[in-house]
Amino acid sequence: MQSNGTAPRLNFYIKIGIFLVLLLWLGFFMAEKIDLTTADLGRHIKNGELLAGSGYDLTDKNSLLFQNFYSYTNPDFPFTNHHWASGVIFFWVYKIVGFAGLSIFYILLSVATFSIFFFVASRESDFSLVSIFSFLLIPLIAERREIRPEIFSYFFAALFFLLLWLWRVKKISWRWLLALPVIMVLWVNLHVYFFLGIVLVGFFLFAEVSEIFFFRLADEDFGERIRLAKGLFLAFVLTILGTLVNPFGFKLLLHPLNIYKNYGYTVLEEKSVWFLENYGIANPNFLTVKAVLVLFLAGFFLLLFINRKKISVRYLLMAIFFGAIGWMALRNFSLLGLFALPVLAYVYSVIFRQKKEEMNIAKENGITMLYIVVILLGLYINYQFIFAHSRNFGIGLRPGAEDAANFFREKRIAGPIFNDYDIGGYLIWNLYPQEKVFVDNRPEVYPHSFFSEVYKPMQDDPDIFRRIDQEYNFNSIFFYKNDITPWGMNFMKNIKENQEWAKAFEDDYAVIYLKKNETNKKLIEDHPK
Q: Please give the pLDDT value at position 5.
A: 62
Name which residue leads in pLDDT, 79 or 104: 104
Q: What is the pLDDT of residues 225-243, one digit of tens each?
A: 777 788 889 999 999 999 9
> Any idea of the CA torsion for 385, 389, 391, 397, to the nearest 10 degrees?
-150
- Please check whether residue 399 is in contact with residue 34, taking contact to mean a CB–CB distance below 8 angstroms: no
Taking residues 462-479, report their average pLDDT. Answer: 93
Q: Please give the pLDDT value at position 2.
A: 46
Domain locations in the chain? 124-144+269-391, 149-260, 403-526
- Please check whether residue 71 is in contact with residue 440, taking contact to mean a CB–CB distance below 8 angstroms: yes
Please, what's the largest Cα pairwise distance for the chain?
A: 91
- Please check whether residue 341 is in contact with residue 349, taking contact to mean a CB–CB distance below 8 angstroms: no
Q: Please give the pLDDT value at position 7.
A: 64
| Burial classification of residue 101, based on how many CB atoms lie within 10 Å of its CB (0-12 exposed, 13-18 middle, 19 or more buried) | middle
> Distance between CA atoms of 524 and 514, rounded to whole angstroms?
7
Q: Please give the pLDDT value at position 368.
A: 86
- Long-range CB contacts (within 8 A, 24+) of 348-352: 348/125, 348/129, 348/295, 348/299, 349/124, 349/125, 349/126, 349/129, 350/303, 350/307, 350/310, 351/299, 351/302, 351/303, 351/306, 351/307
Query: What ranges make up the beta strands (E) of 388-475?
Result: 417-419
- Long-range CB contacts (within 8 A, 24+) of 312-317: 312/207, 312/346, 312/347, 313/206, 313/207, 313/210, 313/211, 313/215, 314/168, 314/203, 314/204, 314/206, 314/207, 315/342, 315/343, 315/346, 315/347, 317/203, 317/206, 317/207
> Distance between CA atoms of 188 and 250, rounded to whole angstroms?
11
Q: Which of 328, 319, 322 is nearest to 295 (CA)?
A: 319
Q: What does DSSP say about strands 476-480 and 417-419: parallel, antiparallel, or unpaired? A: parallel
Q: What is the pLDDT of residues 106-146, one digit of tens each?
A: 999 999 999 999 999 999 998 999 999 999 999 999 999 99
> Distance between CA atoms of 123 and 179, rounded to whole angstroms?
22
Alpha helical stretches, state H, 243-312: 250-258, 273-279, 285-306
Q: What is the pLDDT of residues 296-320, one digit of tens each?
A: 999 999 988 888 788 888 999 999 9
Report phi then psi at 398, rounded to 5.
Answer: -65, 145
Report phi then psi at 431, rounded to 5.
Answer: -115, -20
Residue by residue, DSSP assigns 83-110 as: THHHHHHHHHHHHHHHHHHHHHHHHHHH
> Distance between CA atoms of 489 and 99, rounded to whole angstroms?
31
Taking residues 242-267, report their average pLDDT. Answer: 85
Residue 505 forms beta bridges with which residues?
A: 512
Q: What is the pLDDT of residues 315-332, one digit of tens each?
A: 999 999 999 999 999 999
> Distance between CA atoms of 181 and 195, rounded to whole angstroms?
12
> Distance between CA atoms of 443 and 279, rounded to whole angstroms?
20
Helix (H, G, I), strand (E, B) or coil at 357: coil
